[in-house]
Structures are given as structure tokens and as C-alpha cells.
Structure 1
Amino acid sequence: MDWKATVAAATLMMLTTASAALAEGELNIYNWGNYTSPELIKKFEEQYKVKVTVTDFDSNDTALAKVRQSGHGFDIVVPSASVVPIWIEEGLLLESRPDQMENFENVDPRWIDVKFDPGRKYTVPWQWGSTGMSVNKSVYSGDPNTSAIFLDPPPELVGKINVVPELGDVLYLTIKYLGGEYCTGDKEILKKVRDKLVEAKPKWLSLDYGAVDGLGRGDVAAGVNWNGASFRQRLLNDKIVYGYPKEGYPIFMDNVAILKDAENVENAKLFLNFIMAPENAALISAFARYANGIKGSEAFMPEDMRTAPEINVPSDLIDKGELMPTCPEDVRNIYTKIWTDLQK
């Protein structure tokens, strides 16, 4: 070993020791269910001597409502791009400046100058993907690339459909299916949307995030689902296929942010920098089966992700996807009312 390598190794050792000393303590993460790699958490805990606790939520609305309450005890949250501006506007997030962190250079340029967090002053990428249809081809052999699967289901799927309970995704798919644009406040279109959803609901089996896992077992035969979740179900049952609705489908980017009232801020910052390292981002994707937005992470991922149809969109359907925007508050209020009606 030459003297440069020796100095570099010594420096790295000092930095690692300093970081470990700094990081001793706790970190409380609030994330989507079945979305956090245990291997990633174990690696972080061992590297920084931090005890990590992960608490699950099932929708953006649930997460936002919980954090708005005092005494939640979380340090980190993982909201979708469409709601990040709301979190920022309400002063719920710390301006932690991930753009100044060491590993920020690994973020894919596509995900840096984003509308929901220009320049990334509050958030870093976690994972991104799409919301579409999951179908068991042994039950239904027709076209999976349409939202008719859940809005006008064929007889063989009636009573066998699960819809993930995410307001934005369901409203987006329905509005597009009826020829509208997401974030529209057009009362005529939104009445059609509300009526279509209320009409379709009796044909579903459930409106439940947990029921997604029933696809592989055959408990449900189709429904609205996220691409990574559908990928995981296909690994259990090769009859499961993922469809990209030709009427239009939303693209999401989930992001990691530090809460303004976090108690373990320094540990949270270490975690943000940690997940921007390609090998660590790959652990996230290998577990949940979504793309992550970190350059170089592909080299560390399972081989089957390179060709997976749930990740590689058919060329004729790429333009049908759109990063879900943040709607104006008055429009969000209307959408919430429609969603409330659907829950009745």
C-alpha cells in the first residue's frame, strides 16, 4: 500500500469513527407499508450504531393527517411527489439541504430540478414507479392495459377486484378514463367521475392496501395496483401481469424528508445521505421492486429487474404516463369529497 492509500484509509477510518459516534441513538421512520428493506435498515444500524424503528402508513392522506398532529414521534417521512408541496407549504418539513450532502452527486439529473422540490432542498428520491392494473391471466385473458378493469369490469372479474386505497391514484385513473385531465375542477366531469366510482365499487371485492398480497395467492384476480407490488406478486404467481392503462396512468416519485419537529435530526441527515449511495439505493429497489432515481444503482440490483415488464414500459404506452401533479387546494377539496362519498 502506498502512502496515498495509507492516508486515505486512515482518513476514512477517522470519518467512519466520527460518524458512528455522532450517530449513536435512534431514528424513527414513517414509511409506506412493505416498502422498507430490512437489509438496508440493518446495514444502516450496524454502520452508525443507530436503533431504527419503522412505522407503516397506507396512504398519503393517512401520513399527512398523522404528522399534522403533535406528538407523532417520527423523524423521517416518505411522501409522494404530488403531496410534497403541501408538506412544505404547511411547514412540516425541515429544509435539510440534501443538495449539499456528499452523495447527492449520485442523484439522476431527471430527479433533481423537480417541480415539487426544485433543486432538492427538502427531499431525496426513495423510489418511483407507476399505478396501473394487475390482472391474473388465468381468470381474465383480455387486455390488461385499460382502467376498464376496475371501472367497467368484465363478468369474470366482478367481485374479484381490489383497489389500492390511494385517493390521487384512483381519481387520476378515473378522470383519464372519462377523458378529463387530472386537477380539473370541471363540475360536469367530476360528477361523472363520482358517479362512475360509486357505480363500480359494488363490483369490487375490496378497497384495501393489504389485499394486494392476495394476488399471488389467488384471493383477488385483478385491480388497481403499483408496478413494484405487482412485480412482487408475479414472482409468486407467474399468471400475474401488469397493465399500463392506455387512457392514461400516473407516475409517482416517493421521497424521503426530515420532519420539522424531528428529535433525531443528525441521524436523519445521515440516513438521507446513506440512501443516495448506489449500493444502498439498490437494496431499496431489490426489496420493493421499483426504480430509485440513483445513478449507478442498477449495477447492484437483481438481474431480473433489468427486463421486468413492470419496470420497462411498452414503447406505445410510455407517453400515456404522467408524473402526478399537485392540484390546487380548491380542487383537492372536491376530490376529497368524492373520495369520502366512495367510502360510504
Structure 2
Amino acid sequence: MPFSSLPTRLADWPALFPASGLLRLGAQGAEPVASLPDHAGILVLMGRPLAVSELAPLAARLGQAPVTLPPFNVAGVEVLVLLTAGFDEALGEWLKAQEWSLDAAYVRALPDLAEPGLLLMDMDSTAIQIECIDEIARLAGVGEQVAAVTAAAMQGKLEFCDSLRNRVALLKDADAGILEQVVDLMPLMPGLEILVARLKQAGWKVAIASGGFTRFAGHLQQTLGLDHIEANNLVVRDGRLTGEVDGRIVDGKVKAQTLLDLKVRYGIADHQTVAIGDGANDLPMLANAALGLALHAKPIVRQQAQVAIARLDLEAALCLLEAGSRLAALRG
């Protein structure tokens, strides 16, 4: 796969493509392909920018002549899609372990934005950049104690429901006004707004399933026009937190069930479901989706998820969905 024979800037590649929009990258260089070939693997490379010089180790790993689509740009991210005749699970694991400036996804199939779909996201450290309970605890003066339990729970070292109850108990008697302070300072994950806007434009359903709290998930629902939220209810009495959670706790099982329930409610095909999360309690949800993305995830999640995004933010999900749409268009 002689990337050395191709322009060093990905932006210069489109001029090489024939009318079919497909090139085979073989030992003798790039050659045109008349139509979309049969393929078992889809490799999506994403970077800002995507440096061709970094792809040499990947070329050695592929050991075959993949077919590529013309590179494209999504929200400032350069994207290259390669199709492989077979599917090598070891390649997917190798990609997740790489320390380079780009992100890569190696999958058997991708959803299509032109069809109805469903995206279900975790909230804390996924849709937003913070863990809300840690911020509440910091303002309540018990930040270190709560943060330590949060970290252990997200790494899968503690059972989530028990860990949440223990953390919430530490907030007893805190002024409920703290919740509004956290809402006012809640930073969105980069790429969230453009991702949601594009999906809504395409007629997709977008929802949150969070082990966090309804006050914050509800704010996102109102601000972004989300179709559904599933989160925990903090009990407030006389203007203070009671240190309790009302109703069932949204743990990994509930998140996974939420994906299944929403899929049925909205009539979404199995292959059109996407889930994004970062913690151990997101793994069942990620496993239930056709495309499960670990975003800036804990090691256990990065290892087990179908795709791990480490450098980009939520715009990576949009890159993958755009890649799926372009492939679907080529299939006709």
C-alpha cells in the first residue's frame, strides 16, 4: 500500500479519483475501480489534519490492497475510508492501542444518515465535559471523597448503584442551589451541538441515558431538542439535598434497556442504532448498539468497545455516519 506514491496532503487526493469515486491502493500504486467491490471491513481514519505520513505502520498491517473512497471533511476533520476484502479482528484491537494523532474505526458496517436512526448517549464526560456529581460535591465541600468513588465506579471497580447511593449520601444537607450553579457552568463536549443538529436534520432520534441527574439531562434536552432522557432524580426537601435518589437508578442494565425500548418506540432498524459512552456502566449499552463508540474512555471500556475515540470529540461520530452514508450512496 504505497502511500509514498500518493500526495502527502489528503486534500490533494480527490483529483486522482475516477468517475466511480473509487481507487485501489496496491503494490504498483493507485488504480481506478469501476464499482463498489465486495468488502467485509470498513476502516475509517479521522484526523485534524489526517497526516498521510503517519499511515505507514497501518499499511504494513493491512497486507492487502484496500479500496478507498475520496477523502472528505466533516467539521474540520479529514476523513479517509478504506474497504478491506476480509475482516481482521486483530487489526481492530491494534488500532485501539495506537498512540498517534488520528482516530480510527474498523467495523463491518456503518449506519446511514439517509435512513431513520437512533443515537443514545451517556451524559457526564460524554455529552458534557464534566461529571456533574463531582462538581456538586466540590461545591458542597466533599469533592475529594466523591471524586474517588466516581473514578472507581467508572473503571468498573465498584457496583454502580451502590456507588451512586454512597456518593449521593455524602451530599446530604447541601444547598439545592448548587444544582443551578453546575447547570450554569456545564461545558458541552466539543462536537455535541453540530452532531445533534445534523442528526435532527436527518430525522434521527437523539437521546441521553445517564447515571447522572435529571436536572442536568433536562437542561440538555431543552437546549438541544433531545427526544428522550433517562437519568436519576435527586431528592430535594426544603431547599436542601436529602442525600437520596428517588426511583430506580439508571445503571448499565437500564441504559441497555433504554436503547432497546427507544428502538422499538421509534421503529428504528437494528443496524441504525448508535451508542456513545465512556464508563464501565456504558458497556451494555454500547454492546446493544449496531455502532458502539467509547469516547475518551476508561481503559476497560476502550478495550471492550467496538470503536474507541481518543483524540477527537463527538464530531468523530458524525464522521463515521457520513462515511456510512457515502458508502450507502455508492451501493445505490
Higher RCO (CA-CA < 8 Å; seq separation 6+): 1
Q: TM-score range by the shorter chain?
A: under 0.3
When normalised by structure 2's length, the TM-score is: 0.24
Structure number having the greater strand percentage: 2
